[in-house]
Amino acid sequence: MLDQLQRRLGLRTDSVIFFASAALTILFVVTTISLTDTVDSVFTKASDWILTNLGWFYILGVTTFVLFLIWIALSRYGHVRLGGQDTRPEYSNGAWFAMLFAAGIGTILMFWGVAEPISHYADPPEQGVKPESAHAAERAMAFALYHFGLHTWAIFCLPALAFAYFVYQRGLPFRVSSILHPLLGDRINGPIGKIVDVTAVVGTLFGVSVSIGLGTLQINSGLHELFGLPQNKLVQVLLIAVVTAIATASVMSGLDKGIKILSNINILMAVGLLIFVLVAGPTLFMAKGIVETTGTYVSSVVPLSFWNDTFANTGWQGNWTVFYWAWTITWSPFVGIFVARISKGRTIREFVMGVLALPSAFTVIWFSIFGMGSFDIEMNGSGGLVKAVVKEGDVPGALFTFLQNYPAATLISALSVLIVVIFFTTSADSASMVVDMLCERVDEKLPTPTRQRVFWAVTQGVVGGTLLAATGKSGLDALQQVITVIGLPFFVIAFVMMFSLLRALREDFPELGRDPLAKQLAARSATPAEPPEQAAEAEKEPVG
């Protein structure tokens, strides 16, 4: 019946995954609107339990991801090229970096670049640190970079690498269930695989919806600052409609013309904003700060990777770090599959080092400049950031309050709004493409109709807009609680990814376990296997 329905609609998809995901999404939205208090209560309790009792598991787990990825990149398996030894990357390093950055945490850096450092500066996470002191500023940078550096990108990199390997090495579809292939074999196409993929689709939609909400709030705050536009539900829904329309147009134009062009333009604009703040602000203070903050991050990342706030037990880590990890893990199928899609032809070593190192290095520079600029405003300037962001809780407006202290504030604020809009658009665009991949038919290699990607792009906007219109901020809060709960099974699956990937590498490249120089890999990947007769003759030849 479902197959007949999709044929009538002109779709080319796995009907079970597609319609089950769509139905669950609609059911959740309707239930949330109708029974907001009940849904919020259930998921709040579940989320609070996870944050309280499993926080240590998240902290240790993400650190394990980082260590595993670094190990596999430096190991003999680092020579394995995704797609075969003769395959070369489809995109240049610059275009590749722009796309993976824009689809990853570009919007989040715009949102938190000022807000997080100034929050930890005014309210230090660690006991014994005096608020609004030089020491508080140093620790604030350490925590901000811990949250958005290697650890966040490890959460994205691990599934991205697993997807890329199983798709390009074993010819499996772009689905989360494909990572279970070493364990289940062809049974990934059965009920267990369907459940995993439906969960991935719904989780991705919810994760994107939270970012849609955050992006909308920041855009609304910027337009309020520029034009006095009201900050209310109607304006926010209209903003979502406009951005969804742009994302839909990008989807219809395809990956190369849509996401690639938007990403390249946006990364240039973001770098332009970064350079402006550096030049127009306290340049020497920021330049020194970049160097010092890099050292602070390097010296702090190991202790913070295992810090659990055990003795003070303030609950801070649950509200910040654990929530970040839980939220980020719901994004991991989306970002992971998208990064895998644009990374064919790179070796495992290039892949891991690129995905971990490049965005993390840019993050260090970004937070150093905006964070140090924020501290300078509070320590040596007119102040006001602590009051606006921390005391008054205007987190979405933090960037625009910051820019009021710079020349051409109106123009630069308008540019910042545009950057957020494009980051927002590329995320929605990328997510719709990835969700469409998750619903792809295994037995059909033809390109999927554009209408499917358009459907998911519109669905994302409808979910975000409906929640904002129906329940306002409480609706987004409820959704955040939901994805914290949904994030737990994804977190468990991430451990399965490590096991499956390592098992698959050992099965596919057994010689790498014996060859310390990995010389056999090049011959294996670059030349076809010998015919049985030749192989038998080779075995008869004397060695040496």
Kindly list the domain boundaries of the chain, sorted by start residue.
Answer: 59-509
Beta carbons of 54 and 488 less than 8 angstroms apart = yes
Name the nearest CA neighbour of 119 among 387, 299, 326. 387
C-alpha to C-alpha distance for 323 and 314, rounded to whole angstroms: 15
The residues with which 81 forms a beta bridge, in sequence order, are: 347
130/14: higher pLDDT: 130
Instruction: Give the orientation angle of helix 409-438 with respect to helix 93-104, to 10 degrees.
Output: 90
Using pLDDT thresholds of 50, 70 and 90, give the confidence band for residue 101: low
Q: Which phi and psi angles does 459 have, rounded to 5°? A: -60, -45
Q: For residue range 199-208, list pLDDT tens digits in order.
A: 888 888 877 7
Any residues with CB less than 8 A from the CB of 415 and at least 6 apart, and which? 269, 272, 273
C-alpha to C-alpha distance for 224 and 218, rounded to whole angstroms: 10
Q: Which two tokens stand for residue 531?
A: 């015919």
Work out the burial of residue 3: count CB atoms within 10 Å of its CB; fewer than 13 is exposed, 13-18 middle, 19 or more buried: exposed
Q: For residue range 391-412, list pLDDT tens digits in order.
A: 988 888 999 999 999 999 999 9
Residue 389 has a pLDDT of 92
Any residues with CB less than 8 A from the CB of 207 and at least 6 apart, and which? 327, 330, 331, 334, 483
C-alpha to C-alpha distance for 496 and 188, rounded to whole angstroms: 14
Instruction: Give the orientation angle of helix 36-53 with respect to helix 323-341, to 10 degrees.
Output: 90
Mean pLDDT, residues 330-356 taken together: 88
Beta carbons of 429 and 99 less than 8 angstroms apart = no
Residue 475 has a pLDDT of 52
Max Cα–Cα distance, the chain, nearest Å: 85
Task: Assess if CATH 1.10.10.10 describes domain 59-509.
Answer: no
DSSP class per residue in 56-123? HHHHHHHHHHHHHHHHHHHSGGGG-BTT-TT---SS-HHHHHHHHHHHHTHHHHHHHHHHHHHHHHHS
Mean pLDDT, residues 490-502 taken together: 90
Q: For residue range 206-226, list pLDDT tens digits in order.
A: 777 777 777 888 888 889 888
C-alpha to C-alpha distance for 288 and 331, rounded to whole angstroms: 34
Q: Report whether pLDDT(529) > 80.
A: no
> Rounded mean pLDDT of the chain?
84
C-alpha to C-alpha distance for 95 and 267, rounded to whole angstroms: 10
Amino acid in the structure at residue 105: I
Residue 540 has a pLDDT of 39
Q: Report whether pLDDT(294) > 90.
A: yes
Indicate the length of the chain as a whole number.
544
Beta carbons of 428 and 247 less than 8 angstroms apart = yes
How far is residue 52 from each of residues 39, 44, 127, 316, 492, measured CA to CA in Å? 20, 12, 19, 11, 17
C-alpha to C-alpha distance for 435 and 150, rounded to whole angstroms: 25
The residues with which 89 forms a beta bridge, in sequence order, are: none
The residues with which 347 forms a beta bridge, in sequence order, are: 81
Instruction: Give the orientation angle of helix 450-508 with respect to helix 15-34, to 10 degrees.
Output: 120
Name the nearest CA neighbour of 163 among 21, 335, 15, 329. 335
Residue 465 has a pLDDT of 79
Q: Which two tokens stand for residue 50?
A: 């996870």
Residue 407 has a pLDDT of 95
C-alpha to C-alpha distance for 325 and 328, rounded to whole angstroms: 5
Residue with tokens 């990572």: 179
This prediction's pTM: 0.85
Secondary structure (3-state) at 347: strand
DSSP-H helix ranges across 130-282: 134-148, 150-168, 181-184, 191-227, 233-253, 259-280
C-alpha to C-alpha distance for 310 and 329, rounded to whole angstroms: 24
Any residues with CB less than 8 A from the CB of 490 and at least 6 apart, and which? 199, 200, 203, 329, 330, 332, 333
Q: For residue range 453-486, list pLDDT tens digits in order.
A: 888 988 888 887 776 776 555 555 655 677 678 7
